[in-house]
Chain A
């Protein structure tokens, strides 16, 4: 089976998952308040870097296609001054800015989410316990992933499932206790202060 490259998570060792999640919530607000397109673009680039640092593999083609499609569909409804014409379609300033702004907002939110949400994030309560159990089984099923054959899909998956469930292995789910280091707190402070300042200034 084809193995895909994934960057190393360089944030997990420094920031507790819940602290990272709360940071993301603060950054979302400052990001969405940003009206300046250039600043918003810089924020998206910053979030793309942090997402990669968080060990997430980004697919540039996906985001390019998304930006293009959102912008093109927005251009179909002309708004404001006509800049130029492409195959009979008037490209207007308002529609273009609206399309780019919308696509940057959506991509930025995805990047931010990729940075601040991790599998180690512990949701409280009964539901959180169930999610922990889901991941416990998920890890076990994933171990058999290499045995999945596209040609004999049902049979190969069946063999993996039979080897795991039902079982009497109890409900113990391994949890990793981490605390935020001073490096982590510093990075959080810089990220929050920079983004909030940009939201206030522009």
Chain B
């Protein structure tokens, strides 16, 4: 790894933590969220995993935004904007998901995803 990279990574004496660490954190979070999605039996558990993934994505956006600004006097607000929209959409999606989940609960009697392995006749 060359000095530039390290510098941008924030591993220099005068610089705080850099891009790569944020990205790494986001990656870990993403992996955790994926695990939750795949392995959880409860539908709400899957939703939790989904929220984790989404948050990892927002973190990614913010990290790239923060470490890609040309100057501070006229910042272009991609990072936070993306964050806002993602949060909004996450809210919508959570609402609808829960509505579906309630329907699931009332039809199959439980929230476990395995129980819904057949198309309803």
Is the pairing of A and B real? no
Chain A positions near chain B (C-beta within 8 angstroms): none
Chain B positions near chain A (C-beta within 8 angstroms): none
